[in-house]
Structure 1
C-alpha cells in the first residue's frame, strides 16, 4: 500500500492545499473571532492576556497564522468557550504542516523508532531555529512571511519528541556535504553543528556521518526515513522534489531497512562522527 502526497519536508514550495488561510484554519479563526466578540474583548485586550500583539490575534482570526496548542488552551479559558476551541486543537495542530507532510508528521510524533538518512539539509528534528528559518527563506517559489513563521513553529514543535516521557530510539545518517554547506551563514551553521553535538549525547540518539571519501555507498538512490509505530507497523517515508510517499508494503520497507543497515556500516561510527563534527567546528 502507498500513500501519495504533493511534496516532502524539504520540498520546493507549497501546493494548493499548503497555503495558510484555507479550510480548517479559516474556520477555526472565524470561531475564535466569534467567541472574542461574544466575550466583548477587542483584539488588543485578548492579545495582552495571551501575551501576543493585536496583529497576531488578527492573523489567527483571519487564518493566516496557526496558534500553538498552549494558546488555544488559554483562549478557550479566557473566552469561556467551554472546550469548543480545545476540541479543535489536534486538527489545528495537524493543519500547521503542509498537506503533504501531515500523515508523516502524525506517524513521526507517535513513533517508537525513527531512522533517517539525509542528503541535502539537516533533518528537521535536529535543526536549530535559525537554520530552519534559513532553509525556509531559500525555498522557491518564495514563501511569504506568515507561511515561514507557521512552518518554523511547526518544525520546532516537532522537536517535542525529545521531551516525551518515553522518547523513541532515533538514528541519523548524514552526508558530510550537508554539514559543510553553510546554510544561513557561518554563525548559523556553527550553532547547528553545536546542536548536533548536544543531540548526539542523548542516550536514545545516534548520529553518524557519511564521509565524502567513501568508495562504497548504499544510499545513492536518495534520502528516506524508516518509522516503527507502537503497534509494530514499519513504514518508510520518501520524498523528492514535489512528490512524497509513505510505503507500508513489507517488501519495499524491508529493502529500505537493508539499505539503511548497510549505510550505517559504511558511515563513521557515532563516536567517530561526533569527533568529526567537533573537528569541523574547530575549523570555523
Structure 2
C-alpha cells in the first residue's frame, strides 16, 4: 500500500476464499441443473462466459446485479441470494494485505503513519483512481474498478465502527505533491477535513520543516483488537509484512507515540490543511 496503495494493487484476480468458492459451486450446481452451459448462462444474463467461469471458480466477487440476474434466470429460489450474503468482500485486495484487512474489521484502535501517499482509508475516488490508472504494470479497466470497489468498501469502516479510535499521522508533503492535479487535491483536502470532524478520528500533520522525527524508517500501521491484542503492518513496493511479535510491536508503538508529540496538534493540523486548501 504503502497503506496508501497496497490494499489496492494486488494480483489481477483475488485468491479464492472459502465463501467465494462455495458460492461458485452453488451457482454451478443451479446452472447444470437448468442444463445451461457457461456460455448460454452468460448470454441470458448479459455477462461474458469468462466472467461466469471466474465466479464459479471463486475468482470473482459477483455484484448484487449478477446475483439477482442469476436468481431470475436459474430460478434460484432465493438460495443464491442467501449464499451471496456470506461472501468475503476481498476482491481487489492484495493477497498479502488480506490478513490485515480482516483484523481491521474488528479493531478497537487503528493507528496509521504514512509518508508516501495519503492512506487508503482517507482517499477520495479521484485520488485513488489517479493511483490505479498510473500503476505499473498497467491495470485494465475491470481491475481499476475492482480496486476502487474494494477501497470504497474498506473506507466504510470509518463510519460503520464509531467506537473504533482512528489516528492518522500524515506528512505535509503528501498534499503538496498535488497528486492528480489541483482539483483532485482540493477535493482530497476537503474530504480529509470532513473525516477529521468525526469524534473517533484524529488527524495530525507532520510539518514539512521538521529536522527529525521518530518515523523516518518508513510507514507503519498498528491496531488493537477487541481482545486487546496488538498487531502491526508495514509495506514495501511489492509486499507487506504482518507483525505479531510483541517486542517488534513495542518498538513501533514507542515510535508512533513519539511522532504524535512531534506532529502538529489536532487544531493546528486542521488549520494547516485549511490554509493549504485556500492556497490552491
Alpha-carbon separation, structure 2, partners of 1:139 and 1:8: 15
Instruction: Look up the SS of the partner of 1:140 in the other structure.
Output: coil
Rate the CA distance shift 1:211–1:259 in 2: closer, same or farther, 3 A. Answer: same
1:122 aligns with 2:125: no
Structure 2: give runs of 5+ residues left out of the alignment: none
> For residues 159 and 104 of structure 1, what CA distance do their matches in structure 2 show?
14
The Cα of 1:186 is off from its aligned counterpart by 1.4
Residues matched between the structures, number = 269
Unaligned ranges ≥5, structure 1: 1-5, 47-53
| Counterparts of 1:9 and 1:194, CA distance in 2 | 18
Aligned twin of 2:223? 227
Partner Cα separation in structure 1 for residue 8 and residue 149 of structure 2: 17
Could you say if the C-alpha distance between residues 87 and 56 of structure 1 is closer, same or farther in structure 2, counting changes exceeding 3 Å? same
TM-score with structure 2 setting the length: 0.82
Cα distance in 2 between the residues matched to 1:223 and 1:66: 30
TM-score (norm 1): 0.81
Q: Distance in 1 between matches of 2:252 and 2:135?
A: 28
Matched, 1:137 2:137: no
Q: Cα offset for 1:93?
A: 1.4
**Residue of structure 1 in register with 2:5 after alignment:** 10
Structure 1 match to 2:51: 59
Deviation at 1:271, TM superposition (A): 1.0
Partner residue in 2 for 1:201: 197
Q: 1 CA distance for matches of 2:264 and 2:85?
A: 42
Give the number of the structure with larger relative contact order, counting CA–CA contacts within 8 Å between residues 6 or more apart. Answer: 1
Deviation at 1:182, TM superposition (A): 1.4
CA contact (8 A) 1:65 1:146 kept: no
Match of 1:273 among 259, 269, 280: 269
Task: Pick which of 180-189 and 266-275 moved more.
Answer: 180-189
Aligned-partner Cα distance in 2 for 1:183–1:34: 47
> Any conservation in 2 of the 1:9–1:239 contact (CA below 8 Å)?
no
Give the Å deviation of 1:14.
5.7
Are 2:133 and 2:144, in contact at CA under 8 Å, matched by a contact in 1?
A: yes
Instruction: Label 1:98 to 1:60 Cα distance change in 2 as closer, same or farther (>3 A).
Output: farther
Query: What SS is found at the alignment partner of 1:112?
Result: strand
Query: Hey, what's the Cα distance between the residues in 2 that align with 1:152 and 1:81?
Result: 32
